[in-house]
A = this chain, B = another copy of it.
Amino acid sequence: MSELYLDDYKAGDRFESPELDVSEDDIRAFAALYDPQPFHLDRAGAEASPFQELVGSGWHTAALTMRLLVNSRFRPAGGILGFGVDELRWPSPLKPGDRIKARIEVLEVRPSAKNPDRGVMRVRVETVNQDGAVLISFMPLLRVPRRNNGG
């Protein structure tokens, strides 16, 4: 798969990732290392929580979304390098057995005034499950090189 430069993207461009299956073991393994709360680790603890069932950490959904982006055809040259993320929301929780995929839409492409070899790109990312429910959405700001190094 070929890499893309800032010059290759325009607002409105859309990409979709492959699908990924998420198991209860995946959810517990992430939670044990990074978010050890009862509603991510065991069914009994989850039933007593506002979720009422075992759900994945929101940061697990975020991390899996990154993996989906890396494995998509979005592919900015040099990799996906983010300065930050705005408006991150988790409208529905990740659940064991979910089959998820990510969608990317280019919102804005802006060459750098100071650095002719690159620019920044604002995109919207959404990850949905097999029922189309949105599990996470956010807007990263990415650093993307220009094709001719501005030369």
Contacts and interface: CB of A to CB of B under 8 A. Distances in A.
B89 A83 contact: yes
Question: Is the interface on chain A under 10, 10 to 19, 20 to 34, or 35 or more residues?
Answer: 35 or more
Nearest to A145: B50
B84 A34 contact: no
A84 B83 CA distance: 18
Given A59-B59, A87-B84, A90-B83, A78 B66 contact: no
Contacts of A38: 79
Contact of A64 (B34, B37, B60, B89): B34
Interface string A50-80: 1000000111101110110010000000111
B70 A35 contact: yes
21 contacts: A30-B63, A34-B63, A34-B64, A34-B67, A35-B63, A36-B67, A36-B70, A37-B79, A38-B79, A39-B79, A49-B79, A50-B81, A57-B66, A58-B82, A59-B59, A59-B63, A84-B87, A84-B88, A84-B89, A85-B85, A85-B88
